[in-house]
Amino acid sequence: MEAKNQLFDHVAQLLDEVKAYAINDAASLEQFRIRFLGSKNILKDVFAGIKDVPNERKKEFGQQVNAVKQLAEQRFSELEAQFKQKETDNGADVDVTRPSQTKPAGARHPVTLVKDELMQIFIRLNYTVVDGPEIEDDWHNFSALGMPEDHPARDMQDTFYVSTEPPVLLRTHTSNVQIRVMDALRKSGKQPPVRIVALGRTYRNETISARAHCTFNQIELLYIDEGVTFADMKQTLLYLAQELYGEKTTIRLRPSYFPFTEPSAEMDVSCFVCGGNGCAICKHSGWVEIGGCGMVDPVVLENCGIDSEKYTGFAFGFGLERIAILKYKINDIRLFTENDLRFLKQFEHL
Ligand code: PHE
């Protein structure tokens, strides 16, 4: 009888203990949990004593142990919420030293870097940035630019045709934008000045190699006004070269031919790697070729309804990959389109 009463007394003591247990922080709450609710909690031991309780009181004993357990659970869940709230309020569960999850950041493509730089240079010179279609008709890509039907640039081998009747093609250069801009000027009933820069993708049916690709980007410049001269073009090109490759850069214009400019020239810049002394980049000539330029052919102006007696202009078109290759010393043009992260990541800091 004694022993049995002791069992009931012990349960009563535990009930008091649960009621009076001093829980002031997360640590004491954890101790409380281990003692009354953990996997080896004291109530389990106490309940094991039920075998010594006479049958008629077993139910009562079970209920009392259960009451202790329920109270413990209730206190625990109330206080748990309270401490959790406190910890969050104090910022205690925010570890500010924990390294954040990094999201892989993209980098700008080297051609985009060059594009942006060129755009900025010409915006400073008050040029307007315009866009043109990459899928073009024969007129804008060839005919209006003074290319007769038997011109080599129109050869099927050079050009990707989307359809041949009527001829629709992937533009072979950004010079189509010249015609589009002059057409738009005529349609709006306005007269020059025209001062535009266009940057975009072009296509040619070339065998892909380290030096040539079937798709590349160009920058196109067109300036038309009264009294625009070759000297204006030269000065603009010099400014461009110095902005791109540094103040010491000089330029050289070599006579050349384009159907839509007269006179025409190829522009070289003094090699910015060796300063003109000769190195691998300039193939020991001291000069690197950048692209073509010239005075807009009067025929082209007349094709677009601009009075060639009154207005003159210059244009130039350079390959952006070429500029990027020289600027970042890239040795294979195919790298620009391969999407190899090892290549692209090198431009992360730029
Ligand atoms: N469109 C020419 C090319 O792609 C470059 C050029 C543009 C030349 C404008 C002169 C004037 O080769």
Q: Please provide the DSSP assignment of 139-194 as one string.
A: HHHTGGGT--TT-GGGSTTT--EEEETTEEEE-SSTTHHHHHHHHHHHHTT----E
Q: Whose CA is closest to atom 9 on ligand 1?
A: 316
CA of 266 to the centre of ligand 1 (A): 9
75 and 119, same domain (yes or no) = no
pLDDT tens across 118-155, in order?
Answer: 999 999 999 999 999 999 999 999 999 998 788 876 77
Asked whether the predicted pLDDT for residue 87 surpasses 70, the reply is no
pLDDT tens across 188-226, in order?
Answer: 999 999 999 999 999 999 999 988 899 999 999 999 999
Q: Which of 23, 55, 90 lies at the terminal end of a domain, its last residue?
A: 90
pLDDT tens across 232-266, in order?
Answer: 999 999 999 999 989 999 999 999 999 999 999 99
DSSP 263-303: EEEEEEEE-TTTTTS--TTTTTSSEEEEEEEEEEPHHHHHH
Asked whether the predicted pLDDT for residue 1 surpasses 60, the reply is no
CA of 186 to the centre of ligand 1 (A): 22
User: Which of 76-80, 101-105, 343-347 is predicted least confidently?
Assistant: 101-105
- Here the CATH number for the domain that contains residue 207 is 3.30.930.10
55 and 156, same domain (yes or no) = no
Q: Locate tokens 């993209």: which residue?
A: 106
152 and 214, same domain (yes or no) = yes
d(CA 205, CA 158): 5
Give me the half-sphere count of Cα atoms (radius 13 Å) on the Cβ side of residue 29: 15
Q: Determine the atom of ligand 1 nearest the C-alpha atom of 174.
A: 1
d(CA 262, CA 92): 76
Q: Which residues pair with 169 in a beta bridge?
A: 136, 161
208 and 313, same domain (yes or no) = yes
d(CA 261, CA 255): 11
pLDDT tens across 100-125, in order?
Answer: 888 877 889 999 999 999 999 999 99
Looking at residue 3, its pLDDT comes to 60
Best mutation site among 134, 260, 300 for ligand 1 pocket (most ligand atoms within 8 Å of CB) = 260
Tell me which amino acid residue 125 is. Answer: L
Does residue 255 lie within any of the structural domains? yes
Does residue 216 lie within any of the structural domains? yes
Ligand 1 contact, 317 CB (< 6 A): yes
First to last CA, the chain: 88
d(CA 189, CA 248): 43
Does residue 235 lie within any of the structural domains? yes
Does residue 309 lie within any of the structural domains? yes
Is there a contact between 267 and 244 (Cβ–Cβ < 8 Å)? Answer: no
Q: Determine the atom of ligand 1 nearest the C-alpha atom of 317.
A: 7
Does residue 98 lie within any of the structural domains? no
Q: Determine the atom of ligand 1 nearest the C-alpha atom of 145.
A: 1
How many CB atoms within 10 Å of residue 203? 20
Give the mean pLDDT of the chain: 91
45 and 121, same domain (yes or no) = no
74 and 137, same domain (yes or no) = no
Asked whether the predicted pLDDT for residue 83 surpasses 90, the reply is no
Q: Whole domain around residue 156: which residue ranges? A: 110-347
304 and 156, same domain (yes or no) = yes
252 and 287, same domain (yes or no) = yes
Q: Determine the atom of ligand 1 nearest the C-alpha atom of 218.
A: 4
CA of 317 to the centre of ligand 1 (A): 4
Tell me which amino acid residue 92 is. Answer: A
Ligand 1 contact, 175 CB (< 6 A): yes
Q: Whose CA is closest to atom 7 on ligand 1?
A: 317
Looking at residue 278, its pLDDT comes to 84
Q: Whose CA is closest to atom 12 on ligand 1?
A: 292
118 and 255, same domain (yes or no) = yes
Using the 8-state DSSP alphabet, how is residue 106 labeled?
Answer: P
CA of 5 to the centre of ligand 1 (A): 107
Is there a contact between 74 and 31 (Cβ–Cβ < 8 Å)? Answer: no
114 and 182, same domain (yes or no) = yes
CA of 188 to the centre of ligand 1 (A): 26
Does residue 104 lie within any of the structural domains? no
Count: domains in the chain: 2
Q: What is the mean pLDDT of residues 280-308?
A: 92
Asked whether the predicted pLDDT for residue 311 surpasses 70, the reply is yes
CA distances from 106 to 92, 119, 163, 339 (A): 34, 21, 37, 12
DSSP 107-124: ---HHHHHHHHHHHHHHH
Q: Which of 56, 90, 124 lies at the terminal end of a domain, its last residue?
A: 90
124 and 69, same domain (yes or no) = no
Does residue 95 lie within any of the structural domains? no
Looking at residue 92, its pLDDT comes to 62
201 and 241, same domain (yes or no) = yes
Environment class of residue 261 by beta-carbon count within 10 Å: exposed (0-12), middle (13-18) or buried (19+)? buried
Asked whether the predicted pLDDT for residue 47 surpasses 60, the reply is yes
d(CA 270, CA 86): 69
Q: Which of 40, 59, 90 lies at the terminal end of a domain, its last residue?
A: 90
> pLDDT band for position 273 (50/70/90)?
confident
User: Which of 177, 183, 187 lies closest to 128, judged by CA?
Assistant: 177
CA distances from 57 to 12, 40, 50, 52 (A): 15, 25, 9, 10
Ligand 1 contact, 173 CB (< 6 A): yes
Ligand 1 contact, 192 CB (< 6 A): no
Does residue 99 lie within any of the structural domains? no
Ligand 1 contact, 292 CB (< 6 A): yes
Interacting residues of 345 by C-beta distance below 8 A, sequence separation 6+: 107
Looking at residue 90, its pLDDT comes to 66
